[in-house]
Amino acid sequence: MDIGDTLGRLMFDGVRIKRRLREITQVWFWEDMFDAVSDYIRSRSVWVVVGNAATFLSALAGLAYYWSRPFSFTGYAVVQLACLACQAVALIPVVWPGGAATHRDACDFSDLHQSLTVATVCGSWVFGAYPGAALLVFFDVDANSPPWAAVFFSATAPTIACVASLITATAVSDKVNQHHGEASGLPSVSDRVDDGDSAVTDTGGFDSD
């Protein structure tokens, strides 16, 4: 690549950067940004994000609080109940998508809940328990010391809460999706199965000459 090509690319990059900065300084840019953020905050999807984020933060708070304190079942119960309450918040759009929600909206809420909840479980172990245990082993921390207990139950509490949330969502989402599918005029699963059986029966009863 010669010097001319390099200078030309730098010049076009500078033009794009200036154009982007000019857009940022315009009022309409921030109005569109504010409208997008407001729409997302008013949507039920934000409850899934808030619930899972609060679950992770509750476990992190328990880890920090009991890092230098002796383990107690009462303390673990408090952290566990906090994680369960946060997951209950994350279940709101799955259990109650809203009266105006379509079948697609209900399915989207269910998929979002499943994705973020699984990510919360994996994140609590991949970015929390495993690195924390590795550091404790590396620094030769006594296995009976409070940090080990704090690392263990700070990962166990969100895991139990998230698993309970996923089981509840699986049990409830089918009924909710079917309800909104019927409200939207979509055929239910049983109707599609009956139609398929009828088609097979009609085809099997046809006699060719």
Q: Are 97 and 105 in contact (CB under 8 A)?
A: yes
The whole-number average pLDDT for the span 154-172 is: 94
Q: Tens digit of pLDDT for each residue in 24-73?
A: 666 555 566 655 655 555 577 899 999 999 999 999 999 999 999 998 89
Q: Are 34 and 112 in contact (CB under 8 A)?
A: no
Burial 78-96 (b: 16+ CB within 10 A, else e): ebbebbbebbbbbbbbbee
pLDDT beyond 90 at 208: no
Please report, as a single letter, which amino acid is at residue 150: A
Higher pLDDT, 193 or 155: 155
Higher pLDDT, 27 or 174: 174
pLDDT beyond 90 at 173: no
Q: Tens digit of pLDDT for each residue in 110-124?
A: 999 999 999 999 999
Q: Are 58 and 156 in contact (CB under 8 A)?
A: no
The pTM of this model reads 0.68
pLDDT given for residue 23 in this prediction: 64
Q: Tens digit of pLDDT for each residue in 6-16?
A: 545 655 555 56
pLDDT given for residue 161 in this prediction: 97
Query: Mean pLDDT in the chain?
Result: 78
Higher pLDDT, 101 or 14: 101
Please choose, from the candidates 99, 89, 100, the residue with its C-alpha nearest in 3D space to the C-alpha of residue 169. Answer: 89
pLDDT given for residue 203 in this prediction: 47
pLDDT given for residue 175 in this prediction: 79
- pLDDT range class, residue 96, cuts 50, 70, 90: confident
Over pLDDT 70: what percentage of the chain? 65
Domain parsing of the chain, residue ranges: 43-186
